[in-house]
Structure 1
Amino acid sequence: MTMTIKVYEVDRYGQTRIRRPTTEIAPVEVVEENFVCPPCQCPKCKAQQP
């Protein structure tokens, strides 16, 4: 079964803009045991990183 994703952004006035149109995504069957997401780069999380 596939999923769909659509990426958009909203400005401070509530207007939306499509960044990427709707795309079908096939989920992986098995997630590797050593899979790690990269650390978050937002200012709040960066301040907490050693």
Structure 2
Amino acid sequence: MTMTIKVYEVDRTGITQVIRPEVEVVPLDRPEYAPEYPACECPTCSEVVW
């Protein structure tokens, strides 16, 4: 079974812009186990000292 994914952004006025066009992806048979989410790497969180 395949799925499709399309990445887009919407600005505050409601205008959409496609970041990545629609493509078919094959889901994993079994997802990888992770006891927690990985650390965020965005610029805001990267500046925080834990």
Gaps of 5+ in 2: none
Q: TM-score, normalising length from structure 2?
A: 0.66
**How far did residue 8 of structure 1 move?**
0.3
Distance (Å, rounded) in 2 between the aligned partners of 1:25 and 1:35: 25
RMSD over aligned CA atoms reads 2.5
Q: CA-to-partner distance for each residue in 1:1-50, whole Å, 9 max, x for gaps?
A: 0000000000011000000000101011122334754223565xx47xx5
Matches within 5 A, 1:18-37: 18-34=18-34, 37=37
Q: TM-score, normalising length from structure 1?
A: 0.66
Gaps of 5+ in 1: none
Partner of 2:6: 6
